[in-house]
Amino acid sequence: MPSLAKVVLPTGILMAALAVLPMFSSGYHVSFTIQVFMWIALAGSWNIISGLTGYVSFGHVAFFGVGAYTSALLITKAGWHWLPAGLAGCGPAALLALLIGYPCLRLKGPYFAIAMLGLNEVVRALVSYFEGLTGGGSGISLPPINATVPVYYAMGATALAVVVTTYLIINSRFGLRLISIREDEIAAETMGIDTARMKLYAFLISAAFPGIVGGFYAWYASHIEPMGVFPLITTITMIIMCLFGGAGTVLGPVIGATLLSIMQELVWARFLFVHQAIFGALIIGVVLLMPRGILGVARQYFRLPRTV
């Protein structure tokens, strides 16, 4: 076991550095870090359902989009402050997760993945259809934001909350039950675990956070539209960030999201026309060469606790 000081100290320094970053850096750094926070929260919440139970949520961006629309509507139509409006994004996101998860989590393996694969498209179509409320394809314009720093802290807190939640889950009986579902669901059932209920709980938690992230995103982006907040590629990015760092771990999504965001910013941006192809190749590489991610590789060389 690593000593407390060895973990707490650098973590504390990192947190303190991130907390004061906006005071010493430009708007661009703040924007970039907001994006990293956003991806940490998204990859981390995907990890809660899919990393832990093995049930692949291919429609996770739907919860993000629903959260974005919830907060945009609360801000523009009900006059809410952006902070409670963003937080409120978790409600409808969790509700959607309940609606879709209650029946679909009964589906085994690939069928759950197929069912989830269409979810974002359907929610997008519904959002477009009810244009009286949502503005349809034109989307919703929010008032311009005059300060990004509050969003920075809100998004950072959300990312932190996801990481802490994951840590707590992994170190609880609940977490062990989820992992037992991933390893062998039938055996888990035989041991008396109410797998349907466990999966549903995990799914709800996993969907609520993207709702909040989406909620803050809507405020940050000042304008949302169906095509912009429901793209499949967002789900894929969450998944690949999580896998790259190490699925089913606490820090995997953090590492994956941070590294890939930095790579995206520094390296891929210089290869204008091939960056998407690089992304495709990266997915192939991660799946084939390091399916357990960076932490999985690190585990071969260092002794890391299970709860990292």
Partner 1 sequence: MVHITGTMVLQVVVSGLLVGGLYALVALGLSLVFGVMRVINIAHGTFLMLGAYVTYWLFALAGLNPFLSILISVPVLFVVGALIQRLFVFRVVNAPELSSLLLTFGISILLANLAMLAWTSDYRSVEFLTGSFIVKNIAISKPRSIAFALALAITAIAFLFLHRTKIGKAIRATSQNREVAEVCGINVRRIDLITFGLGAALAGAGGSLVSVMFAVYPEMGQVYVFKSFLVIVLGGAGNYPGAFFGGLLLGVIEGLSSLFLTAQLTEVVSYVLLVALLLLRPQGLLGGRT
Partner 2 sequence: MLPIVRIAPILLTAAFALAATSARAEDIRIGASISLTGTYAKPGTYTQEGYLLCEKEINDKGGLLGRKVKFVVYDDKSEPPTAIKLYEKLITEDKVELVMGPYSSPVTNAASTVSEKYKKLMVASLAATTSIWERGYKYLFMTISPAEVYLEGMIEIAAKNGLKTVAVLNEDTLFSKAAANGTIDLAKKHGMQVVFHEAYPKGTTDFTPILIKIKSLNPDVIAAGSYFDDSVAITRQMKELDVNPKMYGVTVGGDLPEFYKLLDKTAEYVYGSSQWEDHLPYPGAKEFLASYRAMWKHEPSYHAAAAYGSCQVFAEAIRKANSLDSDKLREVLLNLKTTTAFGDYAVDARGFQTAHKMVVHQWQNGKKVTVWPDNLADGKPKFPTPPWNSR
Q: Least Å distance between CB 267 and partner 2? A: 10
By CB under 8 A, which span of 10-18, 87-95, 114-122, 139-147 interacts with partner 1? 114-122
| Binding flag, residue 288, partner 1 (CB under 8 A) | yes
| Binding flag, residue 241, partner 1 (CB under 8 A) | no
DSSP 222: S
Q: Which of partner 2, partner 1, none interacts with 204 (beta carbon under 5 to 8 A by kind)?
A: none
Q: Measure the CA–CA gap between 45 and 295, rounded to whole angstroms.
A: 18
219: helix, strand or coil: helix
Choose, by CB under 8 A, the member of 38, 42, 56, 61 that binds partner 1.
56
- Alpha-helix residue ranges (DSSP H) falling in the chain: 4-24, 27-46, 52-53, 61-76, 82-88, 90-104, 109-117, 119-129, 131-134, 149-170, 173-183, 185-190, 195-221, 226-229, 232-245, 252-266, 275-289, 293-301
141: helix, strand or coil: strand
Q: Measure the CA–CA gap between 292 and 6, rounded to whole angstroms.
A: 25
Residue recorded with tokens 């793209």 = 231
Q: Least Å distance between CB 188 and partner 1? A: 16
How many CB atoms lie under 10 A from the CB of residue 14?
10
| Binding flag, residue 115, partner 1 (CB under 8 A) | yes
How many CB atoms lie under 10 A from the CB of residue 107?
14
Choose, by CB under 8 A, the member of 128, 165, 180, 258 that binds partner 1.
128
Q: Which of partner 1, partner 2, none interacts with 126 (beta carbon under 5 to 8 A by kind)?
A: partner 1
Q: Which of partner 2, partner 1, none interacts with 115 (beta carbon under 5 to 8 A by kind)?
A: partner 1
308: helix, strand or coil: coil
Q: Which of partner 1, partner 2, none interacts with 257 (beta carbon under 5 to 8 A by kind)?
A: none
Q: How many residues bind partner 1 (CB under 8 A)?
A: 43
Q: Which residues bind partner 2 (CB under 8 A)?
A: 2, 6-7, 10-11, 13-14, 17, 25-33, 35, 125, 128, 136-139, 141, 143-148, 217, 220-223, 225-228, 251, 255, 258-259, 262, 265-266, 269, 272-273, 275-276, 294, 298, 302, 304, 308
Q: For residue 134, give the nearest of 144, 120, 124, 121 by alpha carbon.
A: 124
Sign for the CA dihedral angle at 236, 237, 242, 246 comes to: positive
| Binding flag, residue 259, partner 1 (CB under 8 A) | no
| Residues in touch with partner 1 (CB under 8 A) | 50, 54, 56, 58, 100, 103-104, 106-111, 113-115, 117-119, 121-122, 125-126, 128-129, 236, 239-240, 243, 273-274, 276-277, 279-284, 286-288, 291
